[in-house]
Structure 1
Amino acid sequence: MRKVEATISIQSKPESIISAFVNPSLLEKWWQVERAFIDTEVDGIYALTWQVTNKGFGYMSVGNIKTYNPNMQLVIDNFTYFNPEKPILGNMTLTVIAKQNGDQTILYLCQEGYQKGPDWDWYYEAVKQAWPEVLQTLKTYLEK
């Protein structure tokens, strides 16, 4: 199956990077997540929403935490994407690994489990473009 991988070097500690993915107030600051519910226990819920209105959520990503090590790793299984204009796309895995390398941390991100079909192709191409941009936004936020 296809996967999207992105790597970036950030001048920050690994635990600060992992925290930026699980702390709702940090997610709001660097990724503009409007609402989040995150339970970092194994099988805990990981839910993020964007474009919240009085009619509901514009976009949502939800999954179950498979692995959470606050010093280096976050793995989310059953990662599912909701978009009001597309079918529900799910059962992916999102992996975030942060490893110290001198005064930098190498952040590796992998989203995998893309299936076949036009909606999946659209989502794969969108994510392939978005993750490097999103990680650059995280880098800018953490290094300020």
Structure 2
Amino acid sequence: MRKVEVSLFINATPEKIIDAFVNPERLKEWWQVEQALIVPKPGGLYTLVWQISDQGFGYVSSGQIVSYDPMSELIIDNFVYLNPTKDLLGPMSLTVRVRSKDSGSEFYLCQDGYQSGGDWDWYYEAVKQAWPDLLNSFKSYIES
């Protein structure tokens, strides 16, 4: 199966980086998440919602946290993407790993489990472009 991977150096502590993925207020600031339900522990929920209107939710990503260490790692399994104009896509996994290096952190993100055909191809191409762009903005956000 296909995957999207991004690695970069961020001038921040691992704890600050992981917190930005589990703190709903911080997710609003860097990822424009409008609502989040996150229980940061193994077995906990990880649900993000964008574009809320009177008609409902625009986009939802949701999964179950299988590994959480506030100093180094967040792994979400059974990760699904819901879009009212596309097929339901999943399950996938999302892995965030951070380790201290020099005066900052080595950051690694991997979203995998993409299948082929139909909306899967559209989603893979969209995410393959979106994650690198978003994480460069994330880097600026975290470092400021």
**Same fold, TM exceeding 0.5?**
yes
Alignment of 1:34-113 (within 5 A): 34-113=34-113
> Given the two structures, how large is their TM-score scaled by the length of structure 2?
0.98
Cα deviation for residue 140 of structure 1 reads 0.8
Looking at structure 2, the residues matched to 71 and 41 of structure 1 have their Cα atoms a distance apart, in angstroms, of 13
Looking at structure 2, the residues matched to 77 and 58 of structure 1 have their Cα atoms a distance apart, in angstroms, of 22
**Bigger share in strand:** 1
Question: Percent identity at matched positions?
Answer: 54
Looking at structure 2, the residues matched to 102 and 137 of structure 1 have their Cα atoms a distance apart, in angstroms, of 21
Q: Contact 1:67–1:74 at 8 Å: present in 2 too? A: yes
Q: Contact 1:11–1:143 at 8 Å: present in 2 too? A: yes
> Given the two structures, how large is their TM-score scaled by the length of structure 1?
0.98
Looking at structure 2, the residues matched to 8 and 51 of structure 1 have their Cα atoms a distance apart, in angstroms, of 29
Alignment root-mean-square deviation, CA:
0.7
Looking at structure 1, the residues matched to 59 and 8 of structure 2 have their Cα atoms a distance apart, in angstroms, of 25
Which structure 1 residue ranges, 4+ long, deviate > 6 Å from structure 2? none
Partner of 2:128: 128
Alignment: residue pair count = 144
Partner of 2:114: 114
Letter in 2 for 1:104: G
Q: Contact 1:31–1:137 at 8 Å: present in 2 too? A: no
Looking at structure 1, the residues matched to 41 and 13 of structure 2 have their Cα atoms a distance apart, in angstroms, of 22
Moved more, 35-44 or 61-70: 35-44
Give the gaps of 5 or more residues in structure 1.
Answer: none
